[in-house]
Structure formats: structure tokens, C-alpha cells
Amino acid sequence: MISLFVALYSLLCLCTAVKTSDIKELQEKTVKSGQDLTIVECNISLIRDKSKVVWYRQSFGKMPQFFAKRYGINSYTFAGGFNDNRFSFTVNEHQFDLIIKNLREDDEGEYFCGEMEGATIKFTSGARLQFEGASSRKPEISSNQADVALNYAAVNFAKKPSSSRKSRNMKK
């Protein structure tokens, strides 16, 4: 009975498919100032509630910021501070692609498309936008590789021995 269970479980594991469309990596885009660019395709074909699709932007060294949100059939709205006519989207039933015209150096950073799921965001695609000739600002994972030296001292505490002298009375 146990061997049948193990065989069926193994067969199930072998036949389980992984959808590679769910596994995304950050695309790296090297650009020039003044260039027009479609940042990244945001495929929303599989998302039922299209109004839950959002874009976030993270400038290097800063916290991610809410950038834009889709609403209605083919509409979108920008978050405060991003309502610039250089930014636009291609919006339809299958995509919500970000377009930036006349790129400026302050556009540099990472852009993420995702779906709101309750209080969390499931990012589905993204791009790192870096200007040509700029030094790489990829986040580095730091590790402590310094030599570790252990310094210690042996300390022994003992009870103070009782005094063998008797108190003297100083009266004469």
C-alpha cells in the first residue's frame, strides 16, 4: 500500500507543470537621454480584474513608489508627482505597457508591473532602466567576509578569604 502511494506521488510530481510565464526576471535596458522607450510589456491577459493592475517605480537608493493604476476598460491614472505628459501607457485587454518619451536621467531606476492581491502586490514583470555610460548601480549583496579574530581573557572569581586579623580597638 505504501509503495503504491509513493509511486503515485512520484508520478504526480513528475507530471506537475510549471508555467514559465509566471516566472519573471527584471529586464535590463540601457538607454540614452532624449530617447523614447517602451519600458516593458506588462501582459495582463491572465488577470481577471484588470483594475488591480499597478505600476511601481523605484529610483536607485530610494523606496518603491506607486506610479500608476489601471481602471475601467482602457483607462489609467497616475499617482501624484508622476502625471507628466512624457509618461503614457498602451492599454488594452492584454497589455498595460509603459512608454516614456524624451528620457531624462532622473527616469533611471526600476519599474515594476503587478497585480494587487488584497494588501500585497504580485509583481509580474519589470525593467531596470540605466543610462549609457553610467556606472552600474545594481544592488550589491553585501557579505561579511572580514577575518574574525576572537579575543578573550580567562577570569576566575573566588570568594575573598576571611581576614585572619582581628579588629583592633584604637583606644589607649
User: Hey, what's the cell of 155?
Assistant: 577570569
pLDDT of residue 136: 57
Q: Are 90 and 81 in contact (CB under 8 A)?
A: no
Domains of the chain plus CATH, in order, are 30-131 (2.60.40.10)
Q: Does residue 16 have a pLDDT over 50?
A: no
Average predicted confidence (pLDDT) for the chain: 75
Mean pLDDT of the 49-77 span: 92
- Tens digits of per-residue pLDDT, 116-154? 999 999 999 999 999 988 765 555 444 444 444 444 455
10 Å Cβ neighbour count for 47?
19
CA atoms of 43 and 38, how far apart (whole Å)? 13
Sorting pLDDT into bands at 50, 70 and 90, what band is 63? very high
Predicted pLDDT of residue 14: 34
Residue 39 β-bridge partners? none
